């Protein structure tokens, strides 16, 4: 071990970083900050917050931004997003009065009216106060058919790990464990109703039952009144997996399928059919999403080409396609001599083109619904399987240049809620019968910022390797291409997730309305153009996503839409990693970088929960060849002395158990070592999803936009 005989640890760190030596890569002087709630870490966090909060909150714009954000986040004019439980509509609602929120219900007809008559089912504020807990709502799963009992997931402070308790919708009370009520202690867990009195689930069952990513890999059944220790194991993955999880599917014809999925990495699964006794591996692609069950057929969204042999015939389905296949076909039970053309099993329901993608899929009693994007503009298609006659398709109404999102589907029938929206078009909630071609608009979000003088453009930049990268640009009409426009550039670029043209009142009110421009880059690594767009930036090709982002920034500057003095970058989670790379690789492009909930130490990310689950995206730094290319971009290791970095705003949450707060802390500490000015703020609650109360979230956004205003709008 090295002993520091002269000077401080900070001075030693600067010398190491400046030298670029191998020792600089091996020595991590800030490992202690990975202790999430150790006294020393929390003292460091407090010291950082005590520097940042007074500076930003004293800015004359802060209070107004916070008030505007709270008005939006706690507004009663928001759409109360519906969820079907049976034929009843439920909603979880937060406002200034219900800070933690209420879970409430009404009839469908009442919901469609101008003033729904809501009945409170659970008051989370009252529950938290009564139990002395910091409960954050994490959703519910209700018993099929009877819809009378629900499993309620509650998080302590917003963590992904939840406590699950059974709730009786008839009495509006939690079911006493002494009376057989299910209560599952805090864990990252996946739970399904197997029948009215049996659960099938995965969780932390004790030592040796969680993967290196921190998720369960042992699936068990648990009967009512059975002790957790007596749950019966039905499947076991491996510790090196990401997870194992159950999936129980039912259809209107009365079929039930129980799938057990072993996630060998983030994108590859082994899918098993469980008959109650044994699990049979299904011969479906390992990169696949199982979207539902209809007429006994599994609906599969395949992310890699799939060749299926039936008798003497074979057909290959392309990556990104939607396919229906029967259990009999997949298990080998059906007659292999039936011709595909007569049986339509498997059936290709939809295959996107080269600049298209299938973004979401849902299944009703008689239809398969798919949200399809064409050059990042959404549509909604209803698909019908017609036996030997194949598939018919019809579209449901949307708006032009929109983001389309599927909401809740009825447990019985073909009703579906979905939303349409655009950057400047407030969200509309529509209700349709998926068997038809019409939809009624049941709710519309009132305009929450003044967009009458704004315009949306879709443009394209050319990346380093010649790839065309689309981006959206939202700005005031008649603006001058003078290089003086304060512009915020956002992107994500990972995990097959698309950045879509959504209506965001906070961006509109806190940024656009005040004269800022907003750009969204559809860089590789996302899912905007299907699996190939995502895979183009996987692992060793990660730099392509970053080059795409830089290309859009350079195009904005070349067009004189903005300039480095007035250009800011914003991203969170994997987008926070993008921000760290933007700051370390191209510091000259920006005057502001918001690094939120980020991954930054990519050499240690796999040992920080839940980092090991993302090896399929980034690669494994424990493998020398993969570490070599991870080291080229890992932001924490690539901070260097003598570089002029923009003033960054780095922010995370103590309760984030998905992307460890140690990433943000250590990055800020290393900037301190280098004597590089930055701002750091850590919220003590909220988790990775920032699911804290509206007041805390309003402060979060006010801090963001105060910082951006100071950096990009001033001077």
Residue 396, domain CATH: 2.130.10.120
In tens, the pLDDT along 211-243 reads 999 999 999 999 999 999 999 999 999 999 999
- Same domain flag for 488 and 435: no
Pair of tokens at residue 215: 């998720």
Rounded to 5 degrees, φ, ψ at 680 are: -135, 135
Instruction: Say if 523 falls within a structural domain.
Output: yes
Instruction: Say if 515 falls within a structural domain.
Output: yes
Are the CB atoms for 453 and 399 separated by under 8 Å? no
Residues 6+ apart with CB under 8 A from 695: 70, 74, 96, 99
Q: Which of 447, 467, 483 is the last residue of a domain?
A: 447
Instruction: Say if 690 falls within a structural domain.
Output: yes
Three-state secondary-structure class, residue 182: coil
pLDDT for the residue 10: 41
- Same domain flag for 634 and 694: yes
Q: What is the DSSP letter of 2?
A: -
In tens, the pLDDT along 135-191 reads 999 999 999 999 999 999 999 988 999 999 999 999 999 999 999 999 999 999 999
- Same domain flag for 556 and 598: yes
Pair of tokens at residue 485: 């426009």
Query: Higher confidence at residue 501 or residue 390?
Result: 501
| Residue of 714, 697, 711 lying closest to 65 (CA atoms) | 697
pLDDT at 22 over 60: no
Instruction: Say if 695 falls within a structural domain.
Output: yes
Pair of tokens at residue 107: 């009839």
Pair of tokens at residue 638: 């690539």
Distance CA(513)–CA(475), nearest Å, equals: 9
Q: What is the DSSP letter of 526?
A: B
Are the CB atoms for 215 and 243 separated by under 8 Å? yes
- Same domain flag for 349 and 458: no
pLDDT at 18 over 50: no
Confidence of residue 609 (pLDDT cuts 50, 70, 90): confident
Distance CA(207)–CA(203), nearest Å, equals: 11
What is the three-state SS of 70-91?
HHHHCCCCCCCCCEEECCEEEE
- Same domain flag for 378 and 459: no
pLDDT at 443 over 80: yes
pLDDT for the residue 337: 44
In tens, the pLDDT along 449-489 reads 999 999 999 999 999 999 999 999 999 999 999 999 999 99
Rg (CA), the chain: 26
Instruction: Say if 505 falls within a structural domain.
Output: yes
- Same domain flag for 435 and 494: no
Instruction: Say if 53 falls within a structural domain.
Output: yes
Q: Which of 383, 414, 447 is the last residue of a domain?
A: 447
The number of folded domains in the chain is 2
Pair of tokens at residue 88: 């009843």
Mean pLDDT of the chain, nearest integer: 93
Are the CB atoms for 448 and 467 separated by under 8 Å? no
Positions marked active-site: 573, 688
Distance CA(712)–CA(514), nearest Å, equals: 12
pLDDT for the residue 345: 86
- Same domain flag for 372 and 471: no
pLDDT for the residue 1: 27
CA angle (574 as vertex; 707, 454 as ends), nearest 5:
50
- Same domain flag for 502 and 568: yes
- Same domain flag for 687 and 624: yes
Average pLDDT for residues 347-370, to the nearest whole number? 96
Instruction: Say if 162 falls within a structural domain.
Output: no
Distance CA(715)–CA(706), nearest Å, equals: 14
In tens, the pLDDT along 291-342 reads 999 999 999 999 999 999 877 788 999 999 999 999 988 988 765 444 444 4
Instruction: Say if 518 falls within a structural domain.
Output: yes
pLDDT for the residue 36: 95
In tens, the pLDDT along 177-187 reads 999 999 999 99
- Same domain flag for 478 and 431: no
- Same domain flag for 623 and 480: yes
Which CATH number belongs to the domain containing residue 687 in this structure?
3.40.50.1820
Total-model pTM = 0.92
Three-state secondary-structure class, residue 554: helix
CB atoms within 10 A of CB 127: 17
Average pLDDT for residues 413-430, to the nearest whole number? 98
- Same domain flag for 530 and 668: yes
Confidence of residue 3 (pLDDT cuts 50, 70, 90): very low
Q: 45 lies in which domain range? A: 39-70+451-713
In tens, the pLDDT along 612-658 reads 999 999 999 999 999 999 999 999 999 999 999 999 999 999 999 89
pLDDT at 41 over 90: yes
Question: Taking each helix axis from N to C terminus, what angle separates 62-73 and 694-708, rounded to the nearest 10 degrees?
Answer: 140
Pair of tokens at residue 444: 């519309």
Q: Which of 447, 482, 501 is the last residue of a domain?
A: 447
């Amino acid at each position: 071990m090295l002993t520091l005989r002269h000077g401080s640890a900070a001075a030693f760190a600067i010398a190491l970083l400046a030298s670029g030596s191998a020792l600089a890569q091996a020595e991590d002087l800030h490992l202690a900050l990975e202790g999430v709630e150790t006294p020393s870490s929390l003292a460091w966090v407090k010291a950082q917050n005590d520097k940042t909060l007074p500076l930003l909150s004293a800015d004359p714009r802060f209070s107004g931004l916070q008030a505007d954000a709270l008005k939006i986040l706690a507004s009663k004019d928001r759409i109360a997003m519906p969820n079907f439980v049976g034929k009843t509509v439920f909603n979880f609602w937060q406002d200034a009065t219900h800070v933690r929120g209420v879970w409430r219900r009404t009839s469908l007809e009442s919901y469609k009216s101008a003033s729904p008559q809501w009945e409170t089912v659970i008051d989370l504020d009252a529950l938290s106060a009564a139990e002395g807990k910091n409960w954050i709502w994490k959703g519910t799963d209700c018993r099929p058919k009877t819809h009378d009992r629900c499993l309620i997931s509650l998080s302590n402070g917003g963590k992904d790990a939840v406590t699950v308790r059974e709730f009786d919708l008839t009495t509006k009370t939690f079911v006493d464990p002494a009376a057989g009520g299910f209560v599952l202690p805090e864990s990252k867990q996946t739970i399904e109703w197997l029948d009215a009195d049996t659960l099938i689930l995965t969780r932390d069952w004790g030592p040796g039952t969680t993967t290196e990513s921190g998720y369960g890999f042992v699936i068990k059944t648990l009967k009512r009144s059975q002790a957790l220790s007596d749950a019966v194991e039905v499947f076991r993955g491996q510790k090196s997996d990401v997870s194992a999880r159950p999936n129980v599917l039912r259809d209107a014809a009365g079929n039930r399928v129980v799938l057990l999925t072993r996630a060998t990495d983030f994108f590859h699964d082994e899918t098993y059919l469980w008959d109650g006794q044994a699990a049979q591996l299904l011969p479906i692609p390992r990169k696949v999403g199982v979207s539902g069950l209809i007429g006994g057929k599994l609906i599969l969204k395949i992310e890699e080409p799939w060749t299926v042999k039936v008798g003497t015939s074979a057909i290959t389905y392309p990556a990104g396609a939607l396919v229906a296949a029967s259990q009999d076909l997949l298990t080998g039970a059906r007659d292999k001599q039936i011709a595909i053309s007569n049986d339509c099993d498997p059936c290709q329901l939809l295959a996107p083109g080269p600049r298209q993608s299938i973004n979401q899929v849902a299944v009703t009693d008689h239809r398969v619904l798919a949200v399809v994007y064409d050059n990042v503009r959404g549509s909604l298609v209803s698909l019908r399987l017609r036996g030997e006659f194949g598939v018919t398709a019809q579209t449901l109404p949307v708006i032009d240049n929109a983001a389309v999102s599927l909401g809740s589907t009825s447990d019985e029938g073909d009703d579906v809620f979905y939303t349409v929206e655009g950057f400047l078009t407030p969200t509309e909630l529509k209700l349709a019968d998926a068997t038809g071609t019409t939809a009624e608009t049941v709710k519309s979000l009132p305009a929450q910022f003044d967009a009458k003088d704004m315009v949306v453009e879709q443009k394209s930049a050319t990346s380093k390797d010649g790839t065309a990268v689309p981006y959206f640009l939202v700005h005031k009409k008649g603006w001058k291409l003078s290089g003086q426009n304060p512009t915020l550039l956002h992107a994500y670029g990972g995990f097959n997730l698309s950045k879509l043209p959504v209506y965001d009142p906070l961006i509109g009110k806190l940024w656009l309305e005040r004269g800022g421009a907003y750009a969204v880059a559809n860089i590789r690594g996302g899912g905007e153009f299907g699996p190939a767009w995502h895979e183009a930036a996987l692992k060793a090709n990660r730099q392509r996503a970053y080059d795409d982002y830089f290309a859009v920034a350079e195009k904005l500057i070349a067009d004189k839409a903005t300039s480095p003095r007035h250009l800011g970058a914003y991203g969170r989670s994997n987008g926070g990693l993008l921000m760290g790379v933007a700051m370390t690789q191209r510091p000259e492009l920006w005057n502001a970088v918001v690094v939120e909930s980020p991954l930054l130490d990519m050499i240690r990310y796999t040992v920080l929960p839940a980092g090991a689950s993302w090896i399929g995206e980034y690669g494994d730094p424990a493998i020398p060849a993969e570490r070599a290319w991870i080291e080229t971009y890992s932001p924490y290791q690539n901070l260097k002395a003598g570089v002029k970095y923009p003033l960054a705003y780095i922010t995370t949450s103590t309760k984030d158990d998905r992307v460890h707060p140690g990433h943000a802390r250590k990055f800020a500490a290393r900037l301190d070592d280098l004597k590089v000015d930055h701002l750091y703020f850590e919220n003590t609650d909220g988790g990775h999803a920032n699911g804290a109360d509206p007041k805390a979230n309003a402060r979060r956004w006010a801090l963001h936009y105060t910082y951006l205003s100071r950096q990009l709008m001033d001077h």
